[in-house]
Chains A and B, each alone.
Chain A
Amino acid sequence: MGKKTAIIAEHHNGVLSPVTYELLTLAKRIQESEAGDICFFILGADTEKPVQTLSTRTGEPIHAVCIPGLAQYNGVLYKKALSALFSQTPFDYILAPHSSSGMDYAPALSMALGGSCITGVEDVVRTDGPLCFVRSLFGSKLSARLVADTGPVVMTLEPGALKAFSPEEKSQSPNQVSNQGSIERSVLDITDDNMVYTGTKASPSEGSDLARADVIVSGGRGIRDAQNYKYIEMLAKLFPRSATGGSRPICDYRWIPYSKQVGITGTTVSPKLYVACGISGAPQHVKGMKGAGFIVAVNTDPDAPVFQIADVCIVEDLMEFIPLFIETFTKRRRKEDERNDLGESFLA
């Protein structure tokens, strides 16, 4: 029989979120310790496109649940549908993304099913005893291994924590006979007046110049005061095609507008160079900028998580370091210019 694992696929406008494939990696890792079946669940009004993509790319069985009233994510409907599905067909592990929706429905779903809930899972490890799920606490300063005694275990997986399952792995899998897994389709005609979707408002970061910049200089709480954001602006000015950004806290403090926020709830950027100044490196920020070609971090705290992903780590106070760097920069530029001038006069 084995342990059964369900994966709730996440999709927006017909496109699967990348974390869906990372969830499959988590499911396979659980499977290594506790063999059993895996099945994807996709909920929505129209799921045909993501169902086809997922099936071709993973070859895993899929249960597509058509809910006519669920064109947009709706927490009440999701919880209702999922608790009905999993009460009917019990699963031991239910995996969801640690996303705005996953975080919204997972805790209540676990309670509705009489199970347990672990949010923000980053890894699974088998010790001599039970299967342990790993998550971060205290701003990533500590890691915890948690054991669930009561099933089903509803988990949310931190996006980017595990490598996405890739189709190449599929073809190497010996027990994979056909290219596509089975697809089960059902219709669940549920509605709920307790939560009615009325529309979506565009993000304040829409159309921001952050996404197009080659160089981004960002400030965090380390700037200590709104007026010190000028250091960030001064540094950015040294680079052509640059933009200034910031972490969520300094937007929350109203030091800079939300349109400048870099992170999951702001703009996700991948410039050639990203300079993080006074930013500790909260996961929500890091996930929005780790795709940058080259990362420089300036922070007074040598243990700041940002230093784990930076290419160059500078333990200094940005308010001293930035003016000094600008001075060094202008001096060198002047020297280079003088050399060039000399060269030209020589040629002439």
Chain B
Amino acid sequence: MIPFSGRKSFRFAFSGLGVILIILIAVPLLRMILSADPEVMRSTIADREVMASIFLTLRCALWATIACAILGIPLAYLLARWNFPGKSLVQGLVDIPVMIPHTAAGIALLMVYGRNFFLGKTLNEIGLDFVGTETGISLAMAYVSLPFLVNAAKDGFLAIDPKLERVARTLGASPWQAFFRVSIPLAWRSILSGSIMMWARGISEFGAVIILAYHPMTAPILIWERFQAYGLKYAKPVAVLLILLCLLIFALLRWLAEPKKET
């Protein structure tokens, strides 16, 4: 319990405002989950199309996260440790994808990775097709959600005293060894929680994905399609299933990333 001293009115006002927000978040989720008919849920789980689409979504978001971790962690480290000309520009660029409408991001991606642009055309010729493929879905997810990973990793590195890395160097560590034996172990919690955020954001992505790949259908698109074609009754079970699955996975990962109390 955090010691909390002060006027009752202050505490009351803040608690009240906080509770309102919690209700706003929780009620729609609870209402949706509680109203699910067990019978319909069972048949939804048995629905091959639904399960395939959910797994496709989880898989594509995971690939996007892994790819961005490999490219993004070094960038995050650079941003945390080095000053270079144009650093704030780079930082701004990393943040842009969360600022722009995601359908717009999808269109921008299509213009580069579609077959009408040399890059998309060249990649297509070597067998990398982005339109209507899993690769395309991963790309769209990665583009709009990478800031979560890069920024979290950067904050993680910033929280490490650079002296720790310097001392490691004087103890005989190469820059690589210092990075992998000191920086990464100290920042991994931030990196993991950033990755979870990025993965979650990737799974929920709709706007950018639908422009690059309507098919194969990710879960958010499937939900939208069923809502359009058959109405709320048919969209709901898929949505409930996706929400439950996500909550489960994220609870697990959060628990992993949580600092454990030392005995």
Is the A/B pair a real complex? no
What is A's interface to B at a CB cutoff of 8 Å? Answer: none
What is B's interface to A at a CB cutoff of 8 Å? Answer: none
